[in-house]
Chains A and B, each alone.
Chain A
């Protein structure tokens, strides 16, 4: 290269800042001359993040529940409360990844029902449970691939596609099992899914222990890997992701397949937990899943959110429902509480933004 890089006042300053950054690594940046929160309001959003707030709220509800409600803090109740959210929690993991990538899958609860119905029908027909499980999972993957194929190859929006398959998979479930209910599943499997037999030495039932492991994996993928980065890029600006050589279509296809797989697995857990296979199992569950994810601060427009936030959202709704049940509040009211929470969670960031903007404008005109 000819000659040194020309230096100006500005260049010098950025130069110095940048050099500190590279020298001191991660934490240097926050101190590179920046005054955090110097802009009124700008700082609040940065330091009180929504997902942290939901986590704090969860802890508060747990403590309040322990203090006010008899029987809440008992081991068996906590196990039961956790296990009651097992399917929602499991499906929430791929749903979080989907929503971050700007997609959504409304067909998950129908897939849960289809998997349950299929398990019931095959069990009824005398199949071994060890064969039924992989077959149900296979159907889940295929269903997910169909969603993904319609989205990526045919180019339809995920919302439209999965509204369609929501009906389709639920319909197939009815075809497979009619309105029968099949029970008497093998004891050993049923115990695995039951809250009465938690992981020895803990109050965590096996499905939720599995969830914990999967959540850790999903969090790692989303926040620490190249694939996770790609999801954020796709959700925020798909065109730019494509121009950066990210395989947008393939990634979406895999996401939908994983969602189908998880939903069908959740169908098995559901069947075992209630000891009953029915075509209408988990009806409407997709909305609770999505509500939990959004409550956890994942942006429905894609590109923003954390897995930790989504997990906190799931647990918060689960714990609240348990508390309300213990206090004799009816199911209908519980649904309303969930709904109100969701509306608040969607509204609050907007309201904060509006208020700070207005305050800023007022300060500006006053000056």
Chain B
């Protein structure tokens, strides 16, 4: 399979010709063609709901196209499901991690193709060793024997990446693999992907962080509303050009941060500790302030905010909201005190996937949708409709189950669900994960406006530009400890990264 000269008359390894696909009345793809060549990395860009994931699922054999063909080495194929695509050497990282919660990381990676010993017994030692090797290659520290349950979204994403890398794929397809990763993990991933590409693999990459597209890929296909806008080289293109192709207009400021006067402390966290996860974490967030919690994947950021909100218990320490001590371990009490948490894992924690859009939005405020516990459906629907407009949700009907929305649109529903509680303290964990640039700007504007209204915002984000662009103050965590608190003026890429990787804490000590 060694192609000597990929540049000369390159026949695509995998291609789509004039593919259309509809779901009910939603036309997800309309006559889209795409070619992937050996040794080249190609990007797929487009707004939320543009049809990117649908295209990938057709390439991977998850969906059959309504019309058009999938070509493998120039021959039409119709994969019998994802296993067929895998056997053809196509590795796919789907947008949402789909791990078996009760299996270990190693078992998840080698599911269905474990190395065997005599009598068909699974060779557990080999599975574990191969997994450890993959983790070393990705430069992450994950125990192969750890069960998938309880892994952060970023770690789950890394396991999915390892799964895709674990067999010698000719085609590597990645649907927003970096959405939950910080720069450090992303850089490692790109190094590995570059190596695979140099060995002749064809790569298809999706990301809403446009910088990453320029970093990894040589060419790009842009979709808008399911239709192909352009396929072109990235050389000579700017991010602004790309945005214009995606949304059909110029974009306003991505980080529209207003300066706001901060008031009294709204959220005070004192010496919060959870053994083995985070230690002695103290900070406060004032009214009108946006505080970012930065750090590497696994630093314990999500764990801290979950303990603050009470969905996880803490072993020591206390949380005060507006001067009143919060009952520990009770999300209901936290909500009553005006705290909202937008969790990072939308599939398990943020949304009830099989419930409708409107019911998901209503779930956090059921008692406010009528009197005496009765839910007034007209009110429920009109609220949902209002939020749909505000967040530019792309959907068929509000009664559709939220699971059929595109990833970014699901994220908007989670945001709506929590913003609808009109919180005094808003905690957001990766608020723009998987959200396109246009809406990202809108979410940022929303956060700024909320802060200007006197709401205290605590934001966990792996997107460093977002942290720097939006925060009044940046708290940095490293290995379960708060190691730095940087005011906006002092927060730079260097200072935050130094603290996050533990360099500044050594200096300070």
Contact = CB atoms under 8 A, between A and B. Distances in A.
Contacts of B348: 237, 239-240
A18 B389 contact: yes
Contacts of A11: 392
B271 interface: no
A258 to B, nearest CB: 16
Contacts of B381: 21-22, 25-26, 29
B382 A22 contact: yes
Interface stretch (A138-146, A221-229, A274-282): A221-229
A9 interface: yes
B375 A8 contact: no
Contact of B354 (A1, A303, A365): A303
Interface in B1-54: 22-25, 47, 49
Contacts of A25: 378, 381-382
Interface stretch (B59-67, B129-137, B314-322): B59-67
A30 B22 CA distance: 18
Contacts of B49: 10
A33 B382 contact: no
Interface stretch (A81-89, A184-192, A204-212, A241-249): A241-249
Given A38-B25, A229-B363, A229-B366, A14 B392 contact: yes
Given A5-B390, A8-B247, A18-B393, A229 B385 contact: no
B263 interface: no
Nearest to A221: B373
Interface residues of B, number: 70
Contacts of B441: 6
B343 interface: yes
Given A236-B354, A236-B355, A8 B438 contact: yes
Interface stretch (B182-190, B195-203, B394-402): B394-402
Interface in A18-47: 18-19, 21-22, 25-26, 29-30, 32-35, 38-39, 42
A353 to B, nearest CB: 14
B24 A39 contact: yes
A2 interface: yes
A68 B389 CA distance: 58
A26 B442 CA distance: 28
A22 B386 contact: yes
Given A225-B373, A229-B362, A245 B25 contact: no
Interface string A255-289: 00000000000000000000000000000000000
A14 B252 contact: no
B256 interface: yes
Interface in B212-230: 224-225
B398 A29 contact: yes
B25 A35 contact: yes
Contacts of A67: none
B392 A241 contact: no
Contacts of B352: 232-233, 236-237, 240-241, 303
A34 B397 contact: yes
B311 A3 contact: no
Interface stretch (B166-174, B285-293, B328-336, B472-480): B328-336
A228 B247 CA distance: 41
Nearest to A14: B394
A338 interface: no
Contact of B248 (A9, A33, A229): A9
A38 B396 CA distance: 12
B382 A227 contact: no
B47 A365 contact: no
Contacts of A213: none
Nearest to A4: B252
Contacts of B393: 14, 18
Given A14-B395, A245-B334, 9 more contacts: A2-B258, A8-B47, A14-B389, A226-B375, A232-B355, A243-B343, A246-B332, A360-B64, A365-B64
Closest 9 CB pairs of A and B: A226-B366, A22-B385, A364-B64, A21-B385, A245-B335, A237-B352, A18-B388, A22-B382, A243-B349
25 contacts: A2-B445, A3-B445, A5-B390, A6-B249, A6-B438, A10-B49, A14-B388, A14-B393, A19-B389, A25-B382, A26-B378, A30-B397, A38-B25, A39-B22, A229-B359, A229-B375, A232-B355, A236-B352, A236-B354, A237-B353, A239-B348, A240-B348, A240-B350, A244-B331, A365-B78
